[in-house]
């Protein structure tokens, strides 16, 4: 089971829709019609076909549910934490949420993917600035989990095939990889 976490409006639901559609097309392109999303109240559950042999269950937890995220931690082996690279106001709150996820006991064995999303927006923070603000290099050195960082746009598809590749590497084989 994979948990999809991150503050409000960072693009978790759009990413989930993109990953669900990926299996049928095997590529990501600029979206002509961006499917409308509404803030997730509760959770969103989806099965994603990563490739012919691997399927992964992904559960999005809405940003407003952050206080109860921990009740879903125990069956998660993969964490995708999404950050909005265009939202300077939200970045410190995102950082605090990320730290509490990384330090949660049930998640010490999980694999962690941090997505710096919305890189298609004008005035996004640069990778170097985000790494500095989130102290990503410190985290990668000291967190118990292996942490991978990717830049993505759920809107135009940039970086999403790397996400699928990472999921393939980090999902156990068989029908319903952890």
- The bridge status of strand 55-61 relative to strand 43-49 is antiparallel
| Structure token digits, residue 25 | 């097309």
- Rounded to 5°, angle at Cα 38 from 56 and 154: 55
Using rule CB under 6 A, residue 85 touches ligand GTP: no
Residue of 45, 47, 60, 68 whose CA lies nearest to 9? 60
Residue number with CB closer to Mg ion (94 or 143): 94
Residue 5's DSSP bridge partners are 81
Minimum CB–partner distance for residue 13 and Mg ion (Å): 3
Question: H-type helices in 35-122, by residue range?
Answer: 91-103
Considering the rule CB under 5 A, would residue 117 count as an interface residue with Mg ion? no
Stretch that binds ligand GTP, among 7-15, 90-98, 106-114, 143-151 (CB under 6 A): 7-15
Contact 33, 161 (CB under 8 A): no
Q: Is 118 in the site for ligand GTP (CB under 6 A)?
A: yes
Q: How far apart are CA 61 and CA 67, in angstroms?
A: 11
Stretch that binds ligand GTP, among 45-53, 123-131, 149-157, 166-174 (CB under 6 A): 149-157
Q: Does 87 bind ligand GTP (CB under 6 A)?
A: no
Name the segment binding ligand GTP (CB under 6 A); options: 19-27, 37-45, 105-113, 135-143: 37-45
Question: Contacting ligand GTP (CB under 6 A), which of 21, 30, 34, 88?
Answer: 34
Positions in 128-167 near Mg ion (CB under 5 A) = none
DSSP class of 96:
H
Contacts (CB under 5 A) with Mg ion, residues 7-46: 12-13, 40
């Amino acid at each position: 089971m994979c948990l999809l976490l991150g503050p409000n409006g960072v693009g978790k639901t759009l990413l989930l829709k993109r990953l669900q559609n990926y299996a049928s097309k095997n590529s990501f392109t600029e979206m002509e019609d961006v499917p409308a999303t509404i803030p997730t109240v509760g959770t969103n559950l989806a099965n994603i076909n990563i490739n012919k042999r691997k399927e992964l269950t992904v559960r999005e937890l809405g940003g407003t549910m952050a206080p109860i995220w921990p009740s879903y931690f125990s069956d998660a082996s993969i964490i995708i934490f999404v950050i909005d690279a265009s939202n300077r106001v939200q970045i410190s709150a995102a950082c605090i949420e990320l730290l509490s996820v990384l330090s949660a006991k049930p998640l010490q064995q999980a694999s962690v993917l941090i997505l710096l999303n919305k890189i298609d927006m004008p005035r996004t923070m640069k990778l170097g600035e985000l790494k500095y603000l989130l102290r990503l290099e410190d985290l990668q050195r000291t967190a118990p989990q292996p942490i991978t960082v990717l830049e993505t746009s759920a809107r135009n598809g940039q970086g999403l095939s790397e996400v699928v590749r990472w999921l393939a590497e980090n999902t156990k084989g068989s029908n319903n990889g952890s």
